[in-house]
């Protein structure tokens, strides 16, 4: 059996006011061709199908378009929900989609065994069991008794995730003892490298899990949430596929990929990273204003889509003339068909800056995380460390419920 693992499509993602729908469409074109050419049996998508819980009509059109194209390939598909997804939004058409060999598990199921999806071969025999575990929200993991059993919310969440996978592993052993199983997940594992575009989960990522929470019954664990492809705890069978396209400038150097898992006689025989063709370059240019002007004139990107550029001007002394010149430079390339300058910043090495500069250079609101702003607010208050921790955890709980 050939299985393709991907995640974090983030349909509807906007990067500094620019939609990423076109490059996502190019990825979908490539993926459909790959599925057909390689005769893929199963596609698993581990969460964050959409970027927003309330996707626009255009976002839904893009989703249903790829769903229809996947159906036409004959490949079975399993979607699970991520922390960006609305459980109700994903689950709404699940009965209709199940009729065309597409399974959707938008959120934790009332009966945990319903997350186990049998996958049949051409003969109609069950060849694989997939534990299609979606993003597990706080309410899915904790009971009233947890406040008594565990000293902290972090420990309760971590143990809840572990218990969830353990239960699924036990059911696999009892009901499908001779059938290979793999698991999906949308969570934060300890030791991984993050980018700017992931939203923090489970108490600001404090409830990170280790690879040993996944029972040995699962021969491969297909994870989502982290946008940089990577292996968890040096275990090649537990992987993040990463997002198929760059979702922030912090991902500009990442190789985007999907993962091919090949199985034979109940074992994983091969796991291969498959690079996704790059349709757009994300590039950061730094230097003095003069150096940046020269580099932009010489920049000739060779991609299907115009490149996105981040500019950081560094000068020694503060000058309002320099600030105005930077704005003029950015404006001069606004109609370029080669690249778009999405963000720019001016840094002066002389720290004795006036207030006007601070406001002009100020960090873009898109670069700020809610917890950063909240922590700055707490810094201005006379509050002890214990009380601060309680307030921060309460804020993170409210944030995750949005």
Does position 84 have pLDDT exceeding 80, yes or no? yes
pLDDT value of residue 158: 86
C-alpha distances (whole Å) from 108 to each of 79, 80, 88 are 13, 10, 11
Tell me which of 298 and 349 has the higher pLDDT: 298
- Asked if 309 contacts 278 with a C-beta cutoff of 8 angstroms, the reply is no
- Asked if 208 contacts 227 with a C-beta cutoff of 8 angstroms, the reply is no
Helix orientation angle between 57-73 and 21-37, rounded to the nearest 10 degrees: 10
* Euclidean distance between CA atoms 187 and 180, whole angstroms: 23
Does position 205 have pLDDT exceeding 60, yes or no? no
Does position 196 have pLDDT exceeding 90, yes or no? no
- What does the pLDDT average to over 222-227? 96
First vs last C-alpha separation in the chain: 39
317-329 residue pLDDT tens: 988 899 999 999 9
* Euclidean distance between CA atoms 81 and 104, whole angstroms: 8
% the chain with pLDDT above 70: 85
6-25 residue pLDDT tens: 999 999 999 988 999 999 99
pLDDT value of residue 298: 95
pLDDT value of residue 173: 95
Does position 222 have pLDDT exceeding 80, yes or no? yes
C-alpha distances (whole Å) from 30 to each of 25, 252, 311, 365 are 9, 20, 31, 34
pLDDT-wise least confident of 32-36, 125-129, 137-141, 387-391: 387-391
pLDDT-wise least confident of 192-196, 220-224, 308-312, 342-346: 192-196
- Asked if 133 contacts 115 with a C-beta cutoff of 8 angstroms, the reply is yes
Which pLDDT band holds residue 228 (cuts at 50, 70, 90)?
Answer: very high
Does position 370 have pLDDT exceeding 60, yes or no? yes
132-189 residue pLDDT tens: 999 998 888 865 445 445 456 778 888 899 999 999 999 999 999 999 999 999 998 8
Which pLDDT band holds residue 388 (cuts at 50, 70, 90)?
Answer: confident
Tell me which of 132 and 387 has the higher pLDDT: 132
Does position 397 have pLDDT exceeding 90, yes or no? no
- Asked if 356 contacts 322 with a C-beta cutoff of 8 angstroms, the reply is no
pLDDT value of residue 382: 63
Does position 45 have pLDDT exceeding 90, yes or no? yes
Neighbours of 54 (CB within 10 A): 9
Q: Which two tokens stand for residue 336?
A: 């370029």
- What does the pLDDT average to over 286-304? 95
- What does the pLDDT average to over 52-79? 97
> With respect to CATH, is domain 2-275 assigned 3.10.690.10?
no
Q: What are phi and psi of 356, to 5 degrees?
A: -60, -40
pLDDT value of residue 356: 43
- Smallest CA-to-CA distance from 315 within 368, 353, 359, 362 is with 353
Mean pLDDT for the chain? 88
Does position 94 have pLDDT exceeding 60, yes or no? yes
pLDDT value of residue 148: 45
C-alpha distances (whole Å) from 181 to each of 38, 45, 118, 274, 282 are 22, 16, 9, 22, 38
- Dihedral angle, C-alpha 6, 24, 277, 330, nearest 10 °: -130
SS3 380: coil
* Euclidean distance between CA atoms 372 and 395, whole angstroms: 11
The secondary structure of 110-172 as a DSSP string is SSGGGGEEEEE-TTS-EEEEEEE-----HHHH--TTHHHH-SSHHHHHHHHHHHHHHHHHHHH
pLDDT value of residue 208: 78
Tell me which of 255 and 378 has the higher pLDDT: 255
- Asked if 266 contacts 179 with a C-beta cutoff of 8 angstroms, the reply is yes
> How is the chain split into domains, by residue range?
2-275, 282-367, 370-400
């Amino acid at each position: 059996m050939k299985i393709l693992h991907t995640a974090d499509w983030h349909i509807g993602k906007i990067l500094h006011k620019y939609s990423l729908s076109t490059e996502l469409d190019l990825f979908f074109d490539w993926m459909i061709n790959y599925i057909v050419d390689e005769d893929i049996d199963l596609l698993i998508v581990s969460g964050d199908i959409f970027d927003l819980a309330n996707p626009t009509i255009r976002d839904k059109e893009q989703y249903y378009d790829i769903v229809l194209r996947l159906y036409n390939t004959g490949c079975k598909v399993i979607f699970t929900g991520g922390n960006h997804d609305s459980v109700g939004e994903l689950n709404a058409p699940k009965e209709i989609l199940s009729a065309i060999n597409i399974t959707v598990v938008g959120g934790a199921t009332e009966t945990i065994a319903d997350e186990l999806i049998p996958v049949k071969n051409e003969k109609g025999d069950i060849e694989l069991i997939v534990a299609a575990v979606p993003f597990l929200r706080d309410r899915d993991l904790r009971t009233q008794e947890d406040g008594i059993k565990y000293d902290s919310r972090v420990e309760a969440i971590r143990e809840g995730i572990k218990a969830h996978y353990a239960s699924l592993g036990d059911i696999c052993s009892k009901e499908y003892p001779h059938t290979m199983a793999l698991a999906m997940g949308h969570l934060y594992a300890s030791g991984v490298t993050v980018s700017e575009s992931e939203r923090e989960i489970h108490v600001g990522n404090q409830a990170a899990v280790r690879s040993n929470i996944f029972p040995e019954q699962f021969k491969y664990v297909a994870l989502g949430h982290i946008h940089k492809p990577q292996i968890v705890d040096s275990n090649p069978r537990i992987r993040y596929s990463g997002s198929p396209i760059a979702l922030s400038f912090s991902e500009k150097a990442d190789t985007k990929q999907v993962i091919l898992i090949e199985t034979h006689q109940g074992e994983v025989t091969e796991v291969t990273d498959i690079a996704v063709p790059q349709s757009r370059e994300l590039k950061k240019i730094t230097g003095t204003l003069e150096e940046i002007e020269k580099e932009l004139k010489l920049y000739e990107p060779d991609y299907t889509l115009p490149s996105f550029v981040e500019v950081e001007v560094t000068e020694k002394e503060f000058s309002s003339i320099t600030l105005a010149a930077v704005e003029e430079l950015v404006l001069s390339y606004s109609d370029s068909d080669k690249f778009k300058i999405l963000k720019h910043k001016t840094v002066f090495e002389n720290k004795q800056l006036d207030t006007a500069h601070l406001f002009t250079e100020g960090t873009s609101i898109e670069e700020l995380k809610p917890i950063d702003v909240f922590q700055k607010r707490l810094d201005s208050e006379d509050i002890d460390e214990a009380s601060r921790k309680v307030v921060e955890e309460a804020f993170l709980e409210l944030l995750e419920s949005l």
